Copies of this chain bind each other. A is one copy, B any other.
Amino acid sequence: MHKNHGPVYYGDYLMLDKFLSSQEPLSKKFADSHNGECHDEMLFIIVHQAYELWFKQIIHELNAIVDIFQKNFIEEAELSSIYNKLERVKKIQSLLLTQLEILETMTPMDFLEFRNLLIPASGFQSVQFREIEIKMGLNTNDRLDVDREFFLGRLNQSDREKLTKIENGPSLLKLIQKWLERTPYTEKSDFNFWNEYKNSINQMISEDEATIKSNSAHLSEKEIAIQLELSKLTRSTFDCLFDENKHNELIASKQRKLSQKAILNALFIMLYRDEPLLNLPQKIITSLIDIDENFTTWRYRHALMAHRMLGTKIGTGGSSGHLYLKRAADNNRVFVDLFNLSTFLIPKSRLPKLPDSIKKELNFHV
C-alpha cells in the first residue's frame, strides 16, 4: 500500500461506477414510443465505446512518440521506446479488426430495429479517430473532397476547433521527415554513397538485359521485347529518385509526401539495416509501414461491413456508404512513400561497401 493514500479498491481505481453507467440505449429510453428495448443496441454502444477506449490508448502512445521526435537529438534508448510504442499500437490495431467481427454478429435486420433512433449520428463524428489520422500526418487538405466536407460539416463547433488546433500541431509524418533528413551518413566528404549505388544499379540492369537477350531458347521474340521494355522502365524509375526537381513535382501533385532527402536516407537505412546503429531506425520504418497497412485494412473491412449492414442504403450520417469508405481506405494512407521504398532496394551482394570510417560510426565501442 502506498504511503500517500489508503488501500485501493479495484472498482474505485477503474472508476467503474462512472465507466459502467455510460451505456444508455436509446431504444430503452424511448421503449414506449419505440417497439420496446432492442437487445442488440447494447452491443452497438459497447463496440463503439471499445473503439473509443482503444483510440484513447493509441493517442496516448502517439503523443509520447511525438514528444520524443520533437527533440533535436534522440538517444538510442528513446528510439527503442518509440519502437515499443509503435509495436503496441500494432497489437491494438489487430484488436480493432476483431471488434468488427463482433459487431457483425448483429444482423442487418437487428440493426434496423433501432437504426432510425440514431440519425444523424455517425462514426464520422469520432473526434478521436480524426485526431489519430491528423497526428499520423493526414491533413484535411489531403482528403477527398467529399471526405473534407464530412470532416468539417458533421462536427459541432467545439470538436471542430479541437481538431483544427491539433492540425496546427506536429504530425508524425512531418517529424519522421525531419528525423530522416538529419541522418548524416550518406554525405561524408570521402564517400559519395549515391554515386556508387547508381553504378551498382546500372551494372545490375545491364546484366539483366544481357541475360534476356541471350535467352532465345526459352523466350519468344515478343517476350524478349516486353522484358527489355520492362527493364527500361526500371531504369527510368531509378533515375527519377535522384532528380530533386522531378521529386518536388511529384510532391506538388500529391504523388509523394516525403522530401527527396528523407526518402534517400530512409533507403540508406533499409539497405544497411544490418549495421547496429541502423537496426532500430529500420525497425521503426517497418513498424510505420505495418501501422499504415493495418489502418488501411481496417478501413477496407469497415467498408465491407457497412455494405453488408446497409446494402446500398445511405449511412445514418448521410454518407454514400461503402463506396465512399472503400475509396477512403486507399486515399487516407500516410506512409505510402515508405511502402514504395522497396522499388529501390537492390540485393545485398550488389550493395556498395561502406568505408571503415562509416562502419565504425555505425557500430558499438566494444
Measuring CB to CB, which residues of chain A are less than 8 angstroms from any residue of chain B?
1-11, 13-16, 18-24, 26, 30, 33-35, 39, 42-43, 45-46, 48-50, 52-54, 56-57, 60, 64, 76-77, 80, 84, 87-88, 91-92, 94-95, 98-99, 101-102, 104-105, 107-109, 112-113, 116-128, 156, 159, 211-212, 214-215, 217-219, 226, 230, 233-234, 237, 270-271, 273-277, 279-280, 286, 289-290, 293, 296-297, 300-301, 304-305, 307-314, 318, 326, 330, 339-349, 360-361, 363-366
Bound together, the chains give a CA A4 to CA B125 distance in angstroms of 22
| Cα A23 to Cα B15 with chains together (Å) | 7
A contact patch SS: helix
Measured CA separation A308–B11 after assembly (Å): 25
A2-B19 CB under 8 A given contacts A57-B42, A112-B347, A308-B339:
no
Whether A230 pairs with B87 at a CB distance below 8 angstroms is no
* Interface pair B60/A54, CB less than 8 Å apart: no
In the complex, A9→B26 CA distance in Å? 12
* Cα–Cα distance between A78 and B42 once the two chains are bound (Å): 19
The 4 closest A-B pairs by CB, nearest first: A311-B343, A10-B125, A311-B342, A108-B342
| Min CB gap A289→B, angstroms | 6
Residue of chain B at shortest CB distance from A64:
B39
Q: Report how far A57 CA is from B10 CA in the complex, Å.
A: 19
A and B contact pairs by CB, cutoff 8 A, 21 listed:
A1-B116, A3-B33, A5-B30, A13-B118, A13-B121, A14-B22, A15-B23, A15-B24, A18-B22, A19-B53, A20-B52, A20-B53, A77-B276, A84-B105, A91-B105, A95-B98, A107-B273, A108-B342, A109-B270, A313-B343, A363-B364
